[in-house]
Structure 1
Amino acid sequence: MSTETPMAQAPVYAARPSVLLNGQRCPAADELLICAEVHEQRDGLAHAELRFADTVRTTERGIGWAFETDEGSSLSLGTSVRLFMGDETSPQEIFQGIISAVEASFGPEHPPELLVFAEDALWKARMKRRTATYTERTLGGLVETIASELGLRARVSGLDQDPGTQVQINETDLGFLRRVLERFDGWMKISGQHMEAGPWSHGSSQEITLELHSLLKSVRVTVDLADQVSAVTYSGWDPAQGAVIHVESHGALPLGPGTGRTGTQVLEQAFGPRREHAGAFVAADDREARALVDSLYLQRARRFVMVDGCAVGHPGLRVGSRVRLRGLGPRFDNTYTVTRTCHRFDLINGYETDFEAEGARFEG
């Protein structure tokens, strides 16, 4: 018996996207949308690409421009865009952002088309470059400070560790946040006008079941020992304390969902133990060094099993959500964490969701 959640209450899953421009419905945009893609990743800055037919027939003018008028275009630079996808009776917001680029396409093989590119509110962090020093605040407090300076509201949970003094030198806010959060195994994303951040180990409470040849259309699962290690070590010098730093991280860490043996366990059985020394990094003290080796170990361990799949369009498949795959056989049926998504729609294939996911355990 299937454990999947139905995508719609009706017998047919109708999932044509709808668009809001500057907060208003635009019937022409809904009708003339040819294809759409929304890309989301673990370290933030989602972006969307929307392609529209740029001609329309009216009783007054006959065939003419759809978005190129004397009054101006509704698809112009700086226009806010909200894209909804999923069941037409209860669509979910997939993207909210600002149009940052437009492209017109003309040729003999198709009528005029207009392609717009939009980024979510993290575009402000991508554009803002600054030099600053952050002291005496938690990692969550650092995220809240930068969010406030960007005009965003912060939703932070679980980032209560002290990152020490963090220096941003002629670096974009986006690059700085990505660098610091990666070192402390954190994530961030934009939801409307809120910057959300937290530890990657917490993930999302939402779990979605996908069965092969049902909601799961195709999938490739790769189990690879190439980057697996028994432990990650770091050695250095703490100038403030005048002491040697030596820390080590191994398997006693939260590895996320799933069942089976870890990459470390399989590696040691198949090839023997292997240690990785983090010699290319610099840590100021024992606390920062511990966070560094834990993050490096977790990044390797969680990528032991990599999933690349395509599902029937599912607005619940978002970065950080858990996906339970079924129908792949006893070794590959497991629960994984989604790390990247592409929600796409076109007039031939309809609404589909490409996703990448990772897992730290394997039943083989």
Structure 2
Amino acid sequence: MSGGLKSQRLILHGRPRFSIDGADEVRLNEDLIRLEVRADEETPACLEAVFKNWGQSRAGNEPNYLYFDNEILELGRSLSVFGGEGDNEATLFSGQITAIEGIYPESRAPEIRVCAEDRLQWLRMTQRSRLFEDASDRDIAQRLADDAGLRADSEAEGPQHVELLQVNQSELDLLRERARAVDGRIADEEGVLLFRPRRDEPAEPVLLTRQNELLNVTVCADLAHQRSEVRVHGWSVAEKAAIHESAGVDAARVEADNNGRLGVEILDEIQSGLSEELHLEAPATAEEALKLAETRLKRRARRFITARGVTAGTPGLSVGDRVDLVDLGDLFAGIYYLTAVRHSFDMRDGLRTWFVGERNDLGGRS
């Protein structure tokens, strides 16, 4: 999915536009009944679309099934969907068709449901056991991309592993594991495997307001998953010494976009000394242990405040973008990082965009 809004026209009308193998398919645009595109930080982006499947494919023809001839919809074909109009058009989805389903309702014409996923699906279907030697997490991501026939944009930094085992594990599960370990995110972007630092997005946040495109939003601040400190323990075989590393409030503060109070700080004021102890991760070096501690602390800290909202169709929003929710009061107004985005279309509401965002600090905006 492609982020970045191209204009200030945020409330959108019109139907999504489809292309198959790079060619526009106007029939699909016209026959679309409903559409849903979902994406999050760790799983392949997926699409489900339902089309009318009965009528005349050409003038003068007898009515028949429209999409059972494999001329347009066929398993394995590349499918892209675009939303918005004019300079506000953005890619909602790009992937391959993986399932086709016939629907035969009692009281209306036959329909066809198409499901598609992006290219991360092939990593999920490949399972291996192997050993990576003297490789960083970036090297491992590059290797996985090469094996899957993808190009790689691998920028997430991590420690150098003397040995790292992949045991009866899918390529996607291994990639998720390494992304979590180095605080990275993964995505497929037009056949390029992204393995990037989670917070390296340079784009300005997208302004959303309840006065126009933001239809509804709920925001919750919750201390349940917060900890004052994360400690990681291990053993260095090379140095024959125990490893003890930790991360606390300073690790979380670098991501405080709103100059508010961190959940970690608030928790420590209420009940100090609540730490998470990690003994099973088996870091081989102090560098690896410190990275694990910082990453785990940041992941916990980000979950302090969660926003779930719906807009009147914002096709440029994608996972990894930031949104600025402005008129929610001093406590909750501010910048949120998007961890999940869903675009939907139906005949009643048109295009809608659903999002989940998170931040680690409360207040800070006056």
TM band (smaller chain): over 0.9
Residue in structure 2 matched with residue 337 of structure 1 by the alignment: 337
Q: Work out the CA distance in 1 between the residues paired with 2:297 and 2:201.
A: 17
User: What are the Cα deviations for residues 185-222 of structure 1, in whole angstroms up to 9, with x where unaligned?
Assistant: 11110110111111113235241010014111111101
Gapped regions of structure 2 (runs ≥ 5): 1-5
User: How far is the alpha carbon of 1:271 from its aligned partner?
Assistant: 3.0
Cα distance in structure 2, aligned partners of 1:320 and 1:13: 22
Q: How many residues get paired?
A: 356
Note the C-alpha offset of 1:55.
1.3
Once the two structures are superposed, the pairs formed by residues 157-306 of structure 1 within 5 Å of their partners are 157-159=155-157, 161-253=159-251, 254-306=254-306
| Residue identity matched to 2:98 | S
1:28 paired with 2:24, answer no
Contact 1:204–1:322 under 8 Å retained in 2: no
Q: 1:37 is matched with which residue? A: 36
* Deviation sequence 1:331-359 (CA, Å, 0-9, x none): 11010100000011111111111000110
Q: 2:145 aligns with which of 144, 147, 152?
A: 147
| Residue deviations 1:229-283 (CA, integer Å, cap 9, x gap) | 1101122322232101111111112325233000111112233341121234332
Task: Check whether the contact 1:185–1:295 (CA below 8 A) recurs between aligned residues.
Answer: yes
TM-score by length of 2: 0.92
Secondary structure at the counterpart of residue 95 of structure 2: strand
State how far apart, in whole Å, the 2-side matches of 1:256 and 1:62 are: 63
> Does the alignment pair 1:322 with 2:322?
yes
Contact 1:267 1:273 in 2 (8 A): no
TM-score normalised by structure 1 residue count: 0.92
Residues in 2 aligned to 1:197 and 1:27: alpha-carbon distance in whole angstroms: 35
Partner of 2:78: 80
Cα-to-partner distance string for 1:134-169 (whole Å, 9 max, x where unaligned): 222332222112111111111122426424422112
Q: Which residue of 1 aligns with 2:3?
A: none
Which whole-Å deviations, capped at 9, do the CAs of 1:72-122 have from their partners, x for residues lacking one?
A: 342121111011112256521121111111111112132111001101111
Equivalent residues of 2:12, 2:351 under 8 A apart: no
The whole-number CA distance in structure 2 between the counterparts of 1:332 and 1:293 is: 28
1:77-116 paired onto structure 2 within 5 Å = 77-88=75-86, 90-116=88-114
Give the Å deviation of 1:31. 0.7
Q: Measure, in 2, the Cα distance between the counterparts of 1:285 and 1:160.
A: 12
1:40-99 residue CA offsets vs partner (Å, 9 max, x unmatched): 111241111111110123531243221124xx3421211110111122565211211111
- Larger deviation, residues 87-96 vs 228-237: 87-96
One-letter amino acid matched to 1:24: A
Cα separation, partners in 2 of 1:201 and 1:59, compared to 1, 3 Å: closer
Partner of 1:121: 119
Contact 1:255 1:301 in 2 (8 A): no
Q: Which residue identity is paired with 2:63? A: I
Corresponding residue of 1:6? 8
2:311 equivalent in structure 1: 311
8 Å CA contact retained: 2:9, 2:88: no
Aligned-CA RMSD value: 1.9
RCO higher in 1 or 2 (8 Å CA, sep ≥ 6)?
Answer: 2
Contact 1:133 1:166 in 2 (8 A): yes
SS in 2 for 1:313: coil
Q: Percent identity?
A: 28
2 CA distance for matches of 1:164 and 1:207?
Answer: 39
Distance 1:218 1:141 in 2: 42
Greater shift, 320-329 or 153-162, is seen at: 153-162
Distance in 1 (CA, whole Å) between partners of 2:280 and 2:185 is: 23
Matched AA of 2:14: A
Code of the aligned partner of 1:143? A
Letter in 2 for 1:171: Q
Whether contact under 8 Å (2:7, 2:88) holds in the other structure is: no
- The 1:350/1:54 distance shift into structure 2, 3 A limit, reads same
**1:17 aligns to 2:16 (yes or no):** yes
Which one-letter code corresponds to 1:78 in the other structure?
G
* Change beyond 3 A, Cα 1:164–1:252: farther
Contact 1:262–1:362 under 8 Å retained in 2: yes
Distance 2:356 2:175 in 1: 23
Number of the residue aligned with 2:355: 355
Tell me: CA distance 1:232–1:89, structure 2 relative to 1, closer, same or farther (3 Å).
Answer: closer
What is the rounded CA distance, in whole Å, between the counterparts of 2:255 and 2:350 in structure 1? Answer: 35
Is 1:67 the counterpart of 2:67? The answer is yes
